[in-house]
Structure 1
Amino acid sequence: MSLAAPPRTGRRTRRTRALAVGAALLIAGAVATTGGSAVASPGAEASAGAGERSTAREAAALTGTAKLYRSLGDDITFTFDAHLAAKDTDDPSKATGTFRFSHYLNGEGASAEVKVDCLVTGGKVAVVSGVITESDLEGAKGERVGVTVHDLGRKDRLGYSWASTGSPADQGPLPKCVSSAPFESVKAGTGDFRVLPWEPKL
């Protein structure tokens, strides 16, 4: 069973095509992302002695969970919890966290958990990559995958690196922070991806 392939018009194979990139179902709770999903917001720490709040924030983040829309009712979920610390703002490959994704239809499908190894964000768009550490999709474990998220409120969009091959196990070697355009739409009422923009000193 392949994880995540673009929907086909007019016909559907018996093999469930799985889509992508992180899942609340995968984490026995939720990722991400990837453990559980968190809102990407500036962090605040109490400063010693004065009780003041620090204005420092992490360099970038991608968090949240959403299901993708499919007319046949496929259950496709992505969950992200990916972060780039302020001290690592010059090196996106030092990003940490996880993301999860799953795809099920009529009781069949697969899921995967991914360890983040790169995160780049710009405005409301994020590209995250990582290596699959656990999956029930044969041949997927150990493969690097990438996902793109466009944070548009309740109309978020998503894309994934194996869009053209149909499966993470078939896409071949992938560099860090590489993915496809966010061509998929999230299911109405489920989009809560949050992107914290990266602001490197250029």
Structure 2
Amino acid sequence: MTLTRTRVAAALGVLVVLATGVAVPAFASDAQHREAAALTGTAMIDRPKGDDITFTFDARLDAKDKADPGKARGTIKFSHSMENPKWGGSAEARVDCLLTGGKVATVSAVVTKADGGLKESVGKRVGLTVHDTGKQDRFGYSWAMVGIPNDLPDDMPKCVSAAPFEKTRPGSGTFHVR
């Protein structure tokens, strides 16, 4: 007889209940036990043609760290290009905080690499908010968070962002909040 992963998990769950008296969900994935929160996915912000903004999230908070969202890990990649005026750049940032509530996540990260119009953002913190609606997600951010325009402060606190005031472009991808 071949044992499937589901049967093994169910058998182990029964053994845990018998040994400890504590029920364990038999079909829960390993990731659910390791992560308390996550924000993942790629999508474009719904802007007029010629103004393209794309974000990619891979932010995670381990279950053992759920009391300290500042222990989140991962990366955020973003690019912004405009045709008129001609401007653009891309950046990558190291996640330093992740908070989730229901289908809403706020994440902050420090920019580690950047080019073009975003190269002055290296070393600065960005904050972003996602509302995972299951269809056309909502999204909040502020370019001011990376000091654009240049007369704004260079830094901001962890896990601070704007309300999700924009939507993702239909068909461009989706974000997932856990």
Flag whether TM exceeds 0.5 (same fold): yes
Instruction: Provide closer, same or farther for how the CA distance between residues 59 and 168 of structure 1 changes in structure 2, counting only shifts above 3 A.
Output: farther
Q: Which has the higher contact order (CA 8 A, sep 6+)?
A: 1
Which amino acid in the other structure matches residue 82 of structure 1?
A: A
Distance of aligned partners of 1:105 and 1:152 in 2 relative to their CA distance in 1, 3 Å threshold? same
Of 156-165 and 113-122, deviating more is 156-165
- Residue 119 of structure 1 aligns with an amino acid whose one-letter code is L
Give 1:54 shift. 6.0
Q: Give the deviation of 1:132 after TM superposition.
A: 0.3
Question: Unpaired segments of 5 or more residues in structure 1?
Answer: 1-43, 197-202
Sequence identity percentage: 58
| Structure 1 position 82, deviation (Å) | 0.1
**1:140–1:168: 8 Å Cα contact kept in structure 2?**
no
Please, what TM-score do these two structures have when normalized by structure 2? 0.74
Q: Matches of 2:127 and 2:100 in 1, distance apart?
A: 13
Q: Unaligned stretches of 5+ in structure 2?
A: 1-5, 14-25
The list of structure 1 runs, each at least 4 consecutive aligned residues, that deviate by more than 4 angstroms after superposition, is 49-55, 163-166, 168-171
User: Could you tell me the TM-score, scaled by structure 1's length?
Assistant: 0.66
User: 2:176: which partner in 1?
Assistant: 194
Counterpart CA distance in 1 for 2:76 and 2:119 is 19
User: Comparing both structures, which one devotes a greater share of its residues to helix?
Assistant: 2
Counterparts of 1:110 and 1:78 in 2: how far apart (Å)? 12
1:66/1:168 Cα in 2 relative to 1: closer, same or farther (>3 Å)?
A: farther
Larger-gyration structure (1/2): 2
The CA deviation at 1:169 is: 5.4
**Aligned pair count?**
151
Aligned in 2, Cα 1:128/1:80: closer, same or farther, shift over 3 Å? Answer: same
Structure 1 residues 163 and 185, CA gap change in structure 2 (3 angstroms): farther
Query: Does the Cα contact within 8 Å between 1:145 and 1:168 map onto a contact in 2?
Result: no
Once the two structures are TM-superposed, the CA of residue 73 in structure 1 deviates from its matched residue by 3.2
Change (3 A) 1:91 1:145: same
Q: Does the 8 Å contact 2:168/2:174 carry over to 1?
A: no
2:20 counterpart residue number: none
1:143 counterpart residue number: 124
